[in-house]
Structure 1
């Protein structure tokens, strides 16, 4: 009983410490609840499924590269076979006989020349590894753009929520004021109803802004591919730069065409296609290989010593084999034709990539200029409408402004404020996107 109790106590203690350690490991690095833009970008680089899949493609390309390099080496195979035959004698006694036979050997083959195919294949596989790396960079850039857009959408929602909360607070105070005026008999019942309707509209708009924030957070989490979280929020920066980039369009386009991964990848595509054409042409050339082997074989009765045959039946052989393609049923010609088509296709891809990038950067430049102009105009608009709305509030309090005129001015202020919020973040995003094509990482 003492032994059983001691064993039970030992197992229980071990399970306790294992569970405690496991709990510490799982909580050591919990998923954060508050994210800044840098954390979002870094998390996506490590966890985005598309990027992880492309990284596996890169590993596949590296394995193919190693295989291509190993193809120039000789191989080495060992072989062994052993069999037993049982038969009845046709004449003489009726006894059974057994016959043993076997063969053992080692062989090697070495391709000495294959029309340059092996060396060309090595170069092509090296370029394919580089191409896979560039594909990862392309996708990472695309993911960064999506994250920046989704992140700024949430910031727009947050500012809209603050603004709509202020409107609800103001509308509530105004409704209380108009009720007091109605009780004093200075305004009609319809004026009270109008303020009540406006308060309901403001509450609806606040709810819509909060719902937009929730949806945009889901959109960002979808890009990040985060698991379901009860709490998830982003950091709102204290200040947001809306300065227009000083990089000229020509300078940026020259940099982008020389450094962007999509252009480099397209250029590699033309080189890979050229090497594929060289490989196809090598099919017209002969192949020279060296073969060698050693081995032994025997077929003897049970009384024979199997190891003695190494002295009597041991062979060695070596030879060269030359294979000359004479008629391949149009296989080589078709391969060359298809490779030439791929070369032309790769050139078109490169041309389209450069053209698309040039147009994209020009569009980004125009968007930045337009967004900056709209932001400056919106800032002026909201400035003057805010002052007019302040005056309208004062006039409403002293009873010199009716509800219709007040709400007309209020609506102008609301529209101006909404336009200003959108223009501010559009200007910031447009500038960041433009500089992103110059290699400047996203940073608020």
Structure 2
């Protein structure tokens, strides 16, 4: 299906460092600001930094450690030559020890790989959270654009009603029309003013929603850019299969589920390593002294200096089924991760299909509302001319005007609903909005 959309280009008028002072924000500025300042996103970024530190620690675990020790002791005791004679014996030692794991069944290597997956998964968590925030922001931004257009046509309606009411009042004062005709137009003017007030209130409310998403202060002077031009652009709704394939291949929630499966398999590898021996190399140097010998302290340090190196093997013989249980639970975790992956793909595919159907429905509604508006606009114009020349009564005119108001409301709502639906559907394909497009959308 070939579709047309009127797209408006928004001028970027402020740099990132002056966004909080800007009175007019583009969609791109909103998205950039949220990406840098949203609290939830920043918390996830900190979690990613923490995962990077875990990776550093895992890599360092393959290196030998080095520990130094120093001790000083004093012992108070009675002399064997005299019960009343008491002595204090001092002693001390200094040493350095090190150990290096030579083999542990691949546990250290698997842990490093897991931590690498953890860093990647933390980054995908950030991406997924931004995707959700992105959809919320473009929806709020689109709602404000809808509100602004609603305000514009509501202002036009009020101005038209005011002019017609003034004209009718002059005719009434001249005795050309009945008072009921004037009252009916005055009632219509009040109704149009009420519509305008509601539209302005809706715009203020939707601005609050967007400010809350951006987490701007309540006192912040905030508005969004208005489209300054509209051009006709040929576009088409991407095919459902194409978008599903792109989404399943690139969406962060799918990638994260794949990483969970891979991490669960590494847990199984580590659990199986429990059956294997652990071999480590250890060594140390040190010396000691005591004042209960005839040698001086320095000589004792020299004579007692030792060097030690050895290999230790820890061989599991009977672990009370701990290893067997760990392996069984790891296999279960792999199956659970695979089911979660399947569920993630299923849910995402359903979301994409639902978005596709919503987009098609939105375009159909827009096509229908466009035709409805054209008919009612012409009927409203004719009714206005008939009222002006006196060939139609006020009741018929008000009825036709109400139909026109309903038609333009339906048209405006359908237009922005189609715009939002298309942008959301294309987003599943991986198309982010760089310059937000506004305007008409027509189907062929």
Q: TM-score, normalised by structure 1?
A: 0.88
Distance 1:305 1:426, change over 3 A: same
Q: Which moved more, 1:106-115 or 1:80-89?
A: 80-89
2:283 is aligned with 1:288: no
2:116 is aligned with 1:114: no
Is residue 287–residue 302 contact of structure 2 (8 Å, CA) maintained in 1?
no
Q: Provide the residue aligned with 2:400 in structure 1.
A: 409
1:330-378 per-position Cα deviation (integer Å, ceiling 9, x unaligned): 3323322322222111111111111122222222222222212221221
Distance 1:236 1:30, change over 3 A: closer
Distance 1:383 1:441, change over 3 A: same
Q: Distance in 2 between matches of 1:343 and 1:440?
A: 33
Q: Name the structure, 1 or 2, with higher relative contact order (CA <8 Å, separation 6+).
A: 2
**Structure 1 residue runs without a partner (length 5+):** 1-26
- Secondary structure in 1 matching 2:65: coil
Please state which structure has a larger fraction of its residues in helix: 1
Distance 1:150 1:407, change over 3 A: same
User: RMSD of the alignment, in Å?
Assistant: 2.2
Q: Distance in 1 between matches of 2:234 and 2:150?
A: 22
Q: Provide the residue aligned with 2:116 in structure 1.
A: 126
Q: Provide the residue aligned with 1:319 in structure 2.
A: 310
**Cα distance, 1:241 vs. partner?**
6.8
Q: Provide the residue aligned with 2:253 in structure 1.
A: 262
Q: Provide the residue aligned with 2:195 in structure 1.
A: 205
Q: Provide the residue aligned with 1:338 in structure 2.
A: 329
Distance 1:208 1:305, change over 3 A: farther
Identify the match of residue 69 of structure 2 among 57, 70, 79. Answer: 79
**Cα distance, 1:95 vs. partner?**
5.6
Is residue 125–residue 252 contact of structure 2 (8 Å, CA) maintained in 1?
yes
Is residue 162–residue 189 contact of structure 2 (8 Å, CA) maintained in 1?
yes
Q: Distance in 1 between matches of 2:145 and 2:223?
A: 10
**Structure 2 residue runs without a partner (length 5+):** 1-16, 437-444
- Secondary structure in 2 matching 1:410: helix
2:34 is aligned with 1:41: no
Q: Distance in 2 between matches of 1:57 and 1:267?
A: 20
Is residue 54–residue 136 contact of structure 1 (8 Å, CA) maintained in 2?
yes
1:306-328 per-position Cα deviation (integer Å, ceiling 9, x unaligned): 22212221222222222122333
Q: Distance in 1 between matches of 2:248 and 2:333?
A: 23
Is residue 80–residue 105 contact of structure 1 (8 Å, CA) maintained in 2?
yes
Q: Provide the residue aligned with 1:3 in structure 2.
A: none
2:385 is aligned with 1:394: yes
**Cα distance, 1:28 vs. partner?**
7.3
Q: Provide the residue aligned with 2:185 in structure 1.
A: 195
Q: Distance in 1 between matches of 2:321 and 2:157?
A: 79
Is residue 98–residue 301 contact of structure 1 (8 Å, CA) maintained in 2?
no
Q: Provide the residue aligned with 1:248 in structure 2.
A: 239
1:382-431 per-position Cα deviation (integer Å, ceiling 9, x unaligned): 11211111111111122222222111101110010001111111111122
2:419 is aligned with 1:428: yes
Q: Distance in 2 between matches of 1:434 and 1:242?
A: 18
- Secondary structure in 2 matching 1:111: strand
Q: Which moved more, 1:304-313 or 1:214-223?
A: 304-313
Q: Provide the residue aligned with 2:442 in structure 1.
A: none
